[in-house]
Each structure stands twice: as C-alpha cells, then as structure tokens.
Amino acid sequence: MENQGDRLKELVARFVLKYNYWGYLFSRIRRKPTSAAQLGSVMGVGPEKDGTLTLYYAPELLGNTADREVLKIVEHEGMHVLNKHIPRYLRIMANETSEQRKTIKHDVWNVAADCTVNVQAKIREPIIIDGKPWAPCLPGKYGLEEGKVTEYYFYELLKSAKTVSLPMSAAFNGHGKWKSGAQGVADLSALSRKVDQHVQNIIKESVKSFNKDRGTIPGHIAELIEGALAPPKAPYYQIIRKLIRGSRFSKFVRSPTKINRKRTYVFTLGDNKCVPQISPFPGKTRDMTFDIAVMIDTSGSMSEDDIREGLSGVKNIIEKDRHCFTTVLEVDTVVEKEYEVKRIRDIQFNVKGRGGTTLLPGLTRARQLGVDVCLAFTDGYVDDINSVPRKFLPKRLIWVINEGGTAKSINQTGYVVHI
C-alpha cells in the first residue's frame, strides 16, 4: 500500500502547484500518522505543548479515500485553523475546574466548531471515507440557524447538553487531539496564547507566499484570514494615552527607593555621611499607570461583533500596558457584571445582559471607582447622558460608537470614536 505520509505530502504540494490556498497553509504545518482509534476520524489538527500545530491523519482510513474527498477534509481542518478554534477551545478549558464540566464543554465545542466550518466550507453532503459515507455536522441538525459564530452555537448547545447527550457526527470528530495535546500543561491560557501567535504567523506567511504566486484568495477564505489577523478597529490604548497624557506627569506615589528631598539634611550630619539604599523617609515617584474602566453596552441592540470589539479593546489595552488597572463593566439597564482584568486570560466572553439600555448606572460606577478614563462601547441608542450633570460622570469619557450607531445622546460628555 502507498505510504500515506508521502501521499499527503504530494497532495499538499499539488495544491500549491494548483494555487490552492490550503496547500500554502498546510505546507507550514507538520503532519503525523496516528491510529483511527486514537484520532476518532480520518484527519484532525491538534496543538503541541510548544504552541505549534500538527495535522494528524489515520493511514488506514486515508488509504481508500479519494483525493477529492481528502481535499474537502483538508479544507475542513484549515477552517478550524483560520477560525482559531483551538486557542479559543483552550481558553474555555482554562476557565473550567470541574472535570465533568470540561468533558461536556469539550464535546459541545467540538459540535459547535464543526457546525461553523462545515457551513463555511460548504460541506453539506456526506464524504466517502474508506468507502463509507460520513455525514457532516450542520447547525440544522440541532435546530440552529446557519451563519452564526461558534460561541453562539456553543452556548446554545450547552443548554441542551445539560439534560441530554448531543448526537455526534463521526465524519470530522477528530478533535481528541485538542484535548490530549494539552494534557499535562499547567497553564492552558499561556498555551492558548502561544498557539494563537503560531496560527497568526503561519497565516501571514501563507498569505504572503500565496499572494506572491497568485494574488487571489477565494472570498470566504479571505474573510476568515482578515478576521484572524485583524487588530481592534481602533488603537484604543493610543487614544487613551493621548487624551490623558498629563496624568502621567501629575500623579505621584510613595517610593521607598526615593529619598524625601526635604529630609536630605539628615544624611549630611555627623561623621557618617552616607545615603542608605532604602530611605527611612520615602519620597515620591511618578505613577506611570492608568486606571481604566471599559464599559460594554450589552443590551439587545448590540450585536455579537459589537460586543467582541469591546473585548478586543480590553485585549489591546493589556497588550500595550501591562501595568494599567483595567475594570470591565457589562451594562444594559444595570451593571450586570464587574471584573478586573490583569491578563488576557481574565477576559470573560460569556457576557450578561441583552435587555434594554440605560448606561448611567455604569457611568456612576466608573465614577465611584475613580478611574482616569472610561472607555465605553455602545451603539448610542441610550438614555440622554448629555443631560446628566458632569459631576456624576467619570473624569474623562471616550465613547466608541459602532457602525450604524448615533452619538446624539452622548456627544457633549466626552470624546467620540466612530468605527
């Protein structure tokens, strides 16, 4: 029988010669054989402990599968890579302590991820693997609409999984490596960041090579690539720094390594004229950190993309200044959730709210926290903030208005950014 490793290598090379984007992508991902019993499918991509990815394949199933079917499977796995399903999965697992809940969430995320990529790859008919038809997993099977983000399917299916077991599709159930590849890793959030960075790097490299040779990527793939590589829509940290730069020069904190200048005469008296390493009379140093409140409008008029942009803003701030103090406020008519974010792993994606819109309670809470600036993400369809006395609002306000939003109720209270 033909060596399936060589065959897969030749197929990837053939994809490159035919200017198929998946050839460019998977030429940068290692390939390893494994048994169908361990993999649970014919093929599956999985993480390694060093943060890289591996494409696993089952030679016994791949041997009797036609090239055109293999291409569909490769595209399916490539869609998982472009959607960053593995680092997103690792972040979910990192926030769960119960082993039983981990198992449930693992199974549900498998289904949700496949519902997303099969629609994107237009895989609707059974694929013939080793002479047998394997039906793809589609949202309609679970009574869900197509075209939704993976987290939507995940949380909807999670409700059902609490009472009944979800029917799994064997066709692409090769996600066991997502779990086994991370076994023994103490910090799944750190592994998630490594995988995320590795995915970004191979996408950038593959796109650069593809554009150099061909210059045209299919629209549905280009959209995913753009989403995987795109930074936040606005440089939020730079905006904050520009607007409140003066606070970095006017805020001071006590410093035991600085000598109080008013007490320097003490060290010039007597025979021992020396300055200790730690002063018994602490001085002051400039406080170079920001206190930031990120308020996210979680009312029903805000879409999932709008809320995700707010969370991207939090990520942008943390990446640019690891010393800042960031508090996230999720608000619809009340403050539904409040939490501090020091690391990316602290960002919570299960937002609360989705009711009406009254943002004054969130602004009042930001004022109570005494933050330097409040960065508020909203569509602008809110209560009349312009009529609220300035003393009840945070020191500085930056409003981020989504596409199609309005600033007529808030434009007199702070700086407005339209995205």
Question: Which domains are assigned to the chain?
Answer: 4-226 (no CATH), 254-286 (no CATH), 291-418 (3.40.50.410)
Q: What is the pLDDT of residue 196?
A: 86
For range 198-202, the mean pLDDT: 86
pTM for this structure?
A: 0.56
* Most confidently modeled range among 40-54, 268-282, 312-326: 40-54
Q: Per-residue pLDDT tens for 154-170?
A: 888 888 776 555 555 54
Q: Per-residue pLDDT tens for 69-95?
A: 888 888 899 889 888 899 889 988 887
Distance CA 55, CA 32 (A): 6
Please indicate whether residue 271 or residue 65 has the higher confidence score (pLDDT): 65
Out of 238-247, 329-338, 406-415, which region has the weakest mean confidence (pLDDT)? 238-247
Q: What is the pLDDT of residue 7?
A: 81
For range 215-222, the mean pLDDT: 58
| Mean pLDDT computed over every residue of the chain | 79
Distance CA 42, CA 56 (A): 8
Above 70 in pLDDT, residue 223?
no
Long-range contacts of 27-31 (CB under 8 A, 24+ apart): 27/206, 28/202, 28/205, 28/206, 29/53, 29/54, 29/55, 29/81, 29/202, 30/54, 30/55, 31/5, 31/55, 31/56, 31/57
